[in-house]
Amino acid sequence: MRNIEHHALIITCNDLEVMQDLRTTITGLYKIHMEASHGEKLITPIYESLINHYYTMSLIPDGSKEGYDASDDNDAIRSKVIQLLKEKSTSDRYHLSFIEVRYGGDQEKKEVLN
C-alpha cells in the first residue's frame, strides 16, 4: 500500500512581471509533463500582498499516492520549477523567494524540503 504525502511550493516575488512569466512557464511544464489532464489547475492565481506589493502563488498538492503517475509527474515538474527558481533567485533586479514543504498525508510528516 502506498502513502499519500502532500507537497506544496510557495513562491513570492516583488516583481509582478517576473511572477507572471514564472506562472506561464510553470503552466507550460504542467501541460507538457503531466499525464493527468488539467494538471495546471495545481497552480494558484498570483495574489498581491496588502502592503509593499509582494506577489505570491503556490503549487498545491496533487493528492495522489506516492509512486503513481500523477505524483511522479508532479515531483518531476516541481523539481524543474525549483531549479528554475534557484536560478532566478540570484537576480539583483528583484527579490524572489520560495519554500517547498511536505506535510500531512498518511504519515503526518512535516518537513521543509527547500
* Integer Cα distance of 109 and 38 in angstroms: 27
Residue keyed to cell 531549479: 83
The mean pLDDT of the chain is 91
Q: What is the pLDDT of residue 2?
A: 72
∠ Cα 41 75 19 (to 5°): 50
* Integer Cα distance of 8 and 59 in angstroms: 6
Which grid cell sits at 8?
A: 506544496
pLDDT band at 113 (very low <50, low <70, confident <90, very high): confident
Q: Classify residue 106 as left (phi > 0), alpha (psi -120 to 50) or beta.
A: alpha
Q: What is the pLDDT of residue 51?
A: 96
pLDDT higher for 68 or 107? 68
Q: Which residues have CB under 8 Å from 36's CB, separation 6+?
A: 62, 69, 70, 73
Residue 109, pLDDT > 90, answer no
Q: Any alpha helices (H) in 2-113, and if so which ranges?
A: 16-33, 69-88
pTM for this entry: 0.91
Residue 1, pLDDT > 80, answer no
> pLDDT tens digit string along 18-72?
999 999 999 999 999 988 788 899 999 999 999 999 999 999 999 888 889 888 9
Structural domains of the chain sorted by starting position, each given as residue range(s) with its CATH number in brackets? 6-112 (3.30.70)
